[in-house]
């Protein structure tokens, strides 16, 4: 028979977990009952009853003792008792773990401690991942870095802009930094489709603020109904706006405008901010990003209004359920957002609240606003933001670092 690992303390805990007995009779009733029992016991019980009582007692003893001998916890009924049973299993595992540590040599104990430390570190990392993390790029970060924006196509054919900061001191120009970084982007490791580096020869005239792209006829961008063609053109529309490029010209080998079978000859592309609201998109691998919507809006007020609802199954609203607000233009540089009821950023999902604030700021930036004045919001200072004053809009979304 298997040796029991139970000690006195464990057995005591078992009996504590058993159902409690309550007797609501008065002392007088109990005394009378004892007197009747004593009188009845003087009478000789029938042999059959004695045998049955003895058998029942044996069965009861076996039921109580068997779990102790087999190391199985006593099964108790009811929801509350079920919770006790779960806790009991946890204590048993911890007890066995302690017994194991007593028996193993010192080196093995060290291994176990190392495994525990690694597990604790993993849990800490998971907790850290749940905390809100700012992903937007501020104007201040542009001083010492080239802000490189890359539009990456997802497996769902969603255009996801990501931003990579590189030290200006390491490159002779923005164009050199862009080309070198494009070679290093691990699209598939990040859950995207391969797209960079861009095919063609890119030449940038800084004085004219003009980009000239030369493509040969054998390329993946100009074929009919090609998804790559729309993404390729949108890259120039979106990626290069941040660097102040005014014109992008795409030429064939003969120096003439490249003919895209889906769109016809493309003469000049004028990079500009994509005037729309921001939404939440989750890749198949679970990574989440802020992405601009697919529909151009006439003004910021309309974009903010549309952001309250999800435009599709893939793009989700960044506004938490139950939150409402109004938007008003204070002047050409400042937009005012007033929440209908007090917005407590410390309440609810902190990551979702941060995503809402970042998406609002990015949307305002798309329409040329430099600041947002938030009203009816608390606390005044939260996650690096000071809502007691104007909040500066960021210049780019989804900051990532190369591995």
CB neighbour class for 210 (10 Å; exposed up to 12, middle 13-18, buried from 19): middle
- Do 380 and 389 form a contact (C-beta atoms < 8 A)? no
Neighbours of 187 (CB within 10 A): 16
For 60-71, how does the pLDDT look when each residue is reduced to its tens digit (9 = 90+)? Answer: 555 444 444 444
Neighbours of 99 (CB within 10 A): 11
Greatest extent of the chain over all pairs of C-alpha atoms, in Å: 122
Q: What is the mean pLDDT of the chain?
A: 77
**Minimal CA–CA distance to 252: which of 289, 222, 209, 216?**
216
pLDDT winner (highest mean) among 36-50, 256-270, 369-383: 369-383
**87-91, 143-147, 169-173, 261-265, range with the lowest pLDDT:** 87-91
**30-34, 105-109, 333-337, 367-371, range with the lowest pLDDT:** 105-109
Structure tokens at 140: 């201040």
- State the Cα angle at 355 between 122 and 134, rounded to 5°: 60
* Per-residue confidence (pLDDT) for residue 234, from 0 to 100: 86
* Per-residue confidence (pLDDT) for residue 24, from 0 to 100: 54
226 or 284, which is more confident? Answer: 284
**Which residues contact residue 208 at a Cβ distance below 8 angstroms, ignoring those fewer than 6 apart?**
246, 247
Q: What is the percent of the chain with per-residue pLDDT over 90, rounded to a whole number?
A: 51
Confidence band, pLDDT 50/70/90 cuts, at residue 56: low
| Residues 78-99, mean pLDDT to the nearest whole number | 33
Distances (CA, A) of 6 to 32, 59, 69, 84, 104: 41, 22, 9, 17, 20
Strand partners, 124: none
The yes-or-no verdict on residue 127 having pLDDT over 90 is: no
């Amino acid at each position: 028979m298997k040796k029991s690992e139970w000690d006195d303390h464990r057995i005591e805990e078992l009996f504590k977990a058993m159902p409690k007995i309550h007797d609501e009779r008065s002392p007088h009733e109990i005394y009378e009952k004892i007197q009747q029992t004593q009188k009845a016991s003087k009478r000789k019980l029938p042999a059959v009853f004695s045998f049955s009582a003895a058998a029942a007692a044996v069965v009861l003893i076996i039921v109580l003792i068997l779990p102790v001998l087999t190391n199985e916890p006593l099964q108790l009924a009811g929801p509350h008792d079920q919770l006790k049973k779960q806790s009991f299993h946890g204590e048993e595992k911890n007890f066995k773990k302690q017994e194991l540590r007593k028996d193993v040599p010192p080196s093995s104990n060290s291994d176990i401690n190392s495994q525990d430390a690694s597990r604790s570190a993993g849990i800490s990392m998971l907790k850290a991942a749940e905390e809100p993390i700012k992903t937007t790029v501020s104007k201040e970060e542009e001083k010492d870095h080239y802000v490189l924006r890359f539009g990456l196509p997802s497996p769902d054919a969603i255009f996801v802009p990501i931003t990579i900061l590189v030290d200006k001191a390491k490159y002779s120009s923005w164009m050199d930094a862009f080309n070198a970084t494009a070679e290093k982007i691990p699209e598939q490791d990040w859950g995207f489709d391969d797209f960079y580096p861009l095919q063609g020869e890119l030449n940038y005239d800084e004085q004219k603020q003009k980009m000239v792209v030369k493509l040969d006829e054998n390329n993946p961008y100009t074929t009919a109904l090609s998804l790559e063609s729309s993404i390729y053109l949108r890259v120039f529309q979106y990626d290069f706006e941040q660097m102040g490029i005014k014109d992008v010209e795409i030429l064939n080998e003969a120096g003439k405008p490249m003919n895209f079978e889906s769109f016809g000859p493309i003469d000049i592309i004028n990079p500009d901010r994509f005037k729309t609201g921001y939404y939440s998109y989750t890749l198949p691998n679970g990574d989440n990003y802020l992405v601009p919507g697919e529909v151009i809006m006439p003004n910021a007020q309309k974009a903010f209004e549309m952001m309250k609802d999800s435009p599709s199954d893939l793009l989700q609203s960044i506004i938490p359920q139950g939150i409402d607000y109004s938007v008003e233009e204070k002047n050409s540089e400042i937009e005012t957002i007033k929440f209908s009821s007090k917005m407590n950023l410390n309440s609810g999902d902190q990551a979702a609240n941060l995503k809402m604030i970042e998406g609002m700021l990015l949307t305002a930036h798309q329409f040329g606003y430099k600041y947002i004045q938030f009203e009816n919001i608390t606390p005044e200072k939260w996650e690096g933001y000071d809502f007691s004053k104007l909040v500066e809009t960021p210049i780019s979304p989804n900051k990532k670092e190369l591995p």
